[in-house]
Chains A and B, each alone.
Chain A
Amino acid sequence: MRLPALLLLAALATAAFSLARARAAIGSTRAPLFAPARGREAAGVRHAFTTAFLPWAKESASGHLATYLAGIVYHAGVFAMLARLILTLPPVRLPWIVDRALAALFVLALACGLGLLAKRLINADLRAVSVPDDAIANLLVDLSLAAGCAAALAPGAVPSFQLAGAVLLLYAPLGKLRHMLFLVTSRTLWGQYYGRRGVRG
């Protein structure tokens, strides 16, 4: 096994370990609630992961449609890129048309990522809440998307893709990329809150 692949395996292990620890920490403190529920938590959680994502369900999405769509494409590209990254380890050869489609998605996602970064640099309110981690995390993801695109088009670029992916995954436990895990938790809590109180769901 070559060095990039080994690095990637190590990074995957680090990321998985961090995720498992965070998950355990969250799961350990789900205290019982005493106030009688008005609605159903489960319905709220279902809403949180489905209809609440629709652009018209939130003013923050409908009022920022370009950013919302860029975010959707960016994250779709990131998840596809991570899946493709893992498939380089066995390695798995995908039909050429799938790789071409993935390459196109990665390019689109890369453009969206750079667009979101540009917005962060230009918008004064966004700059006020930004930290170096925001730019570094974005650029590392963008680099992996670019490498993923290259690897999808030319198998010779797979080691570079693995290396970029390994760096990304090693960086993930350090900063904002942790939101990959905590997003699931926070949306679950959001759904439970509004579902239980009968506001949504």
Chain B
Amino acid sequence: MTAPALEVLRTRLDARTAAFLEACVRCNLCAESCHVYLADGESASTPAAKVQQVARLYRRYHTWSGRVLPWLTGARELDEADLDALKDAAFGRCTMCGRCTLNCAVGLDPTAVMGLARAMLVAAGKVPEGITANVTAALETGNSMRIPADEVRETIAWLEADLRESTGDATITLPLDQPGKRVLYALNPREIKFFPLSIQAAGLIFHAARESWTLTSADFDITNYAYFACDRATAGKISARVLERAHSLGVETLVVAECGHGYRSLRWEAPEYLQRTYPFEILSFVELLERYVAGGRITLNATRNRDRVTLHDPCNLVRNGGVIEPQRTVLRRAAWDFVEMTPNREHNYCCGGGGGMLAASEYAARRVATGKLKAEQIRRTGAKVVVTPCHNCMDQLLELSKRYELGVEIRTLAEVVADALVVPNHNH
């Protein structure tokens, strides 16, 4: 399967990635910026080592010195064993978190190189099955968890009834498929299946803010596993569904629920995949919450969240998405005792579950082991609650909390905000 991989190397190798491959001086100063290397200490886990797996192929097939003098530059031909090693590096030892990029002495982006590796592995059929299964599900059914529209409608109806009952406010609605609203709130399917409380929390917040909003029963899925596979064509098709849905509903703003890669893939990558702009704004729910708080559209009472809270920064939302301060502004208003973990913001460590790692069961043990760094970060804060505006990170943090006995509750930002919300009862 080397030929298709080499064809991808040939066709997808743009000047940007080539410049990165040329710029790497193999200084290895990036090593300690990688949570995988910090966890296992293996030479193969340093970002430089991962980059070199692709760089050697680049030199062999795309530089004349690599063709003529391969021994000089370490250029080598691609064989099946290399593909397996490349899979281990690109999918098994890298979460594409980009911390190495931030710390690279010469400014290269190892995640761009790993993206190229992943695209080559897609062509070679060497993608973790879990990622492929999610991509297939999204293409076949419109969402990665194969949830039919009827089930979405039933779940939302049930959540709405439950919300009305628990708040005693019969005016609360979870509107579905309503055109002409200002906001489309697009979901991670895990919320529908496993974390419905985050949908209720969002509904309560929208209600308090008197927002004109809607959910959608089809094309609601903000996740994009083809983005993890770095298969741009397929990732574009998947992202296009949500974007077209927002377009057809005529909304002013597409609000992406708390999901790091969902936000990044829709906000930053999809317009490039699809080579077009859209006539609506794309916001993370985190950003919208900040606007509500700043604009006085919602009132929060921090005394309702008295336990110490810390914040985990999802790499795709923060380091690669630029949403850095809004979640902090909101948390300071919603929680009585908010403390930062160290390091934080764009310097934060990946939880270990990014880059599709949670879907790649073959790397599960390694994923939990690399999460130890994050677990220790959390433990040092003394927090009882860890807030993360990302359902992917949430899954990993839940597992880390059990494995490393952190005894913390993992919550979305919306859930914490909903608890602090001073809800106006529109019945009165």
Contacts and interface: CB of A to CB of B under 8 A. Distances in A.
Interface of A: 22, 25-26, 28-29, 33-36, 38-39, 48, 52, 58-61, 63-64, 67-68, 71, 123-126, 128-134, 136, 173-176, 178-179, 181-183, 185-191, 193-194, 197-200
What is the interface of chain A mostly: helix, strand, loop, or mixed? helix
A15 to B, nearest CB: 14
B72 A190 contact: no
Contact of A197 (B19, B108, B321): B321
Residue from A39, A134, A189 having most chain B Cβ neighbours under 10 A: A189
A186 B72 contact: no
A179 B154 CA distance: 58
B22 interface: yes
Contact of B32 (A59, A186, A188, A194): A59
11 contacts: A26-B16, A58-B105, A60-B32, A71-B27, A129-B26, A129-B28, A131-B26, A175-B73, A182-B22, A197-B268, A199-B322
A29 B17 CA distance: 11
B136 interface: no
B276 A34 contact: yes
Shortest 8 CB-CB distances between A and B: which pairs?
A131-B74, A190-B107, A34-B271, A187-B107, A198-B322, A128-B43, A186-B23, A182-B23
Given A34-B271, A35-B272, A125-B46, A60 B19 contact: no
A25 B25 contact: no
B371 to A, nearest CB: 20
Given A129-B48, A199-B346, 15 more contacts: A25-B18, A34-B274, A35-B267, A35-B268, A35-B269, A60-B33, A63-B29, A130-B26, A133-B74, A178-B22, A179-B106, A189-B20, A189-B109, A190-B107, A197-B322
A63 to B, nearest CB: 6
A125 B31 contact: yes
Nearest to B346: A199
A39 B321 CA distance: 11
A59 B28 contact: no
A130 B26 CA distance: 7
Contacts of B269: 35
Contacts of A59: 32-33, 103, 343, 347
Contacts of A136: 72
Contacts of B33: 59-60
Interface in B47-106: 48-49, 52, 65, 69, 71-74, 101-106
Contacts of B277: 34, 36
Interface string B283-297: 000000000000000
B16 A48 contact: no
B29 A129 contact: no
B86 to A, nearest CB: 15
A190 B109 contact: yes
A133 B43 CA distance: 20
Contacts of A36: 277
Interface string B1-36: 000000000000011101110111111111111000
Contact of A35 (B27, B30, B271): B271
A174 B268 contact: no
A133 B52 CA distance: 13
Contacts of B346: 199-200
Nearest to A173: B65
Nearest to B30: A60
Contact of A199 (B20, B23, B30, B324): B324
B19 A128 contact: no
Contacts of A191: 107
B30 A186 contact: no
B168 to A, nearest CB: 40
Given A29-B14, A131-B73, A190-B104, A179 B25 contact: yes
A133 B73 CA distance: 5
